[in-house]
Amino acid sequence: MGKIAFIFPGQGAQYAGMGQQLALRYAEVSEIFKAASETLGYDMAKLCFEGPDEVLKQTEITQPSIFTVSMACAKALEINGVVPDMAAGLSLGEYGALTVANAIDFADAVKLLRQRGRFMQEAVPIGQGAMAAIIGLDKETVEQVCKEASKYGVVEPANYNCPGQIVISGQTVAVQKASEMAKEKGAKRAIMLEVSAPFHCSLLKSAGDRLAEVLESVSINKPAIPVIANVTAEEVSSPEDIRQLLIEQVSSPVRWEESVRRMMAMGADTFIEVGPGKALSGFVKKISKDVKVMNVEDIQSLESAISQLEG
């Protein structure tokens, strides 16, 4: 029998209205938004359901809100008898994977993500950092481009998303130069991303250091199901390792393609993107044509996923 992997989205997936249908249908889902509101001291349901987008885009709001909606979607799946055999998440999504595996408590995760968002935003002044998606080059070429462009400033691979899509991150000028060089080397496109900070590069080391202090007081358990870590693309099971990898993750590249391949090697043949958007579903489809991929973010996608799983 094949196994089900839950995968949790990262920043950029947010939109006004996310999670609303599921909260209206299921009282248990509505409770998750209430719990987030009580923990953070603002109305999480109102924010996720109504926006505005400008507020949802603020990193310290984005991270806990996407996480809350992802947990709401996981709850809706659980109510319908669907639970994961393993989990992973992209960047902030890793907290979703750890929470669904009972390694971190929901209230702790939502608080951590607000602080993580703030620390990441404050690490680099607005406008001084950037990220770009390089489409159509292999990873060796992208790594070479980053090396060559580093004379203009810090620029590093940040997300190995799927074959032919790697995100780079660093100081704005260096990222722009690397994007130009990538096109010269045959990249189909180099797209500057709408982000407020250069995530997953060495410029965010200070954010990881600040997160380390906060993580010291958080209780972490051994995961009840395998969780694949962004930094290593391997299963992480000891609480000490989880804590250390969450610190490193802030300034290290996300090895997403390898993480998906690792889950496939562990028997996953069905991937469910749990939370807003379909970015990860797109990546998984590019990584393998041999697995089932679905997403759950509203009533229609939930019903579709359940019928596919029953079929």
- Whether residues 115 and 178 fall in one domain: no
Average pLDDT over the chain, rounded to an integer: 97
237 close to 101: Cβ distance less than 8 angstroms = no
Here the CATH number for the domain that contains residue 133 is 3.30.70.250
Domain end call among 178, 195, 212: 195
The span from the CA of 244 to the CA of 236, in Å, is: 10
At 127 the pLDDT is: 86
Which domain covers residue 137, as residue numbers? 129-195
Residue 193: the pLDDT is 93
Helices 279-287, 256-265: crossing angle, 10 deg rounding: 60
Per-residue pLDDT at 72:
98
- Adjacent-strand bridge partners of 3: 268
d(CA 137, CA 196): 25
**Chain segment 208-229, per-residue pLDDT in tens:** 999 999 999 999 999 999 999 9
Active-site residue, 91 included = yes
Q: Which one from 91, 169, 251, 301 is the annotated catalytic residue?
A: 91
Does 184 share its domain with 294?
A: no
Q: Structure tokens of 32?
A: 């998750």
- For residue 86, the domain's CATH number is 3.40.366.10
Residue 1's pLDDT band (cuts 50, 70, 90):
confident
Q: Is the predicted pLDDT of residue 195 greater than 90, yes or no?
A: no
pLDDT of residue 178: 98
CA dist., res. 311 & res. 300, Å (int): 16
**Boundary of a domain, candidates 153, 178, 195:** 195
DSSP assignment letter at 254: B
* Known active-site residue 304: no
Percent of the chain residues past pLDDT 90, beyond the cut: 97
Same domain, 104 and 230: yes
Domain's final residue, options 165, 195, 225: 195
Name which of 39, 50, 46, 40 is nearest 16 in CA terms.
Answer: 50
Contact 76, 296 (CB under 8 A): yes
Cβ 129 vs Cβ 172: under 8 Å: yes
Residues 29 and 104 grouped into a single domain:
yes
Would you call 188 exposed, middle or buried from its count of C-beta atoms within 10 A (0-12, 13-18, 19+)? exposed
Number of domains in the chain: 2
Continuous segment of H or E residues that includes residue 274: strand 268-274
**Mean pLDDT across the stretch 166-178?**
98
Instruction: State pLDDT tens for residues 91-134.
Output: 999 999 999 999 999 999 999 999 999 999 999 988 899 999 99
Comparing 191-195, 216-220, 273-277, the range with the smallest average pLDDT is 191-195
Let me know whether 66 and 97 are in one domain: yes
Residues 117 and 172 in one domain: no
In this structure, the answer to whether residues 16 and 40 fall within a common structural domain is yes
Both 213 and 88 in one domain: the answer is yes
Catalytic: which of 70, 200, 251, 301?
A: 200
Is a pLDDT exceeding 80 seen at residue 300? Answer: yes
Residue 126, classed as helix, strand or coil, is coil
Whether the Cβ atoms of residue 135 and residue 182 lie closer than 8 Å to each other: no
Same domain, 119 and 136: no
Shared-domain flag, residues 190 and 228: no
Do 106 and 214 lie in a common domain? yes
Distance CA 125, CA 195 (A): 12
Give the per-residue pLDDT at 194.
84
* Residue 211 and residue 184 share a domain: no
User: Average pLDDT of 34-55?
Assistant: 97
Single-letter amino acid code for the residue at 168 = I
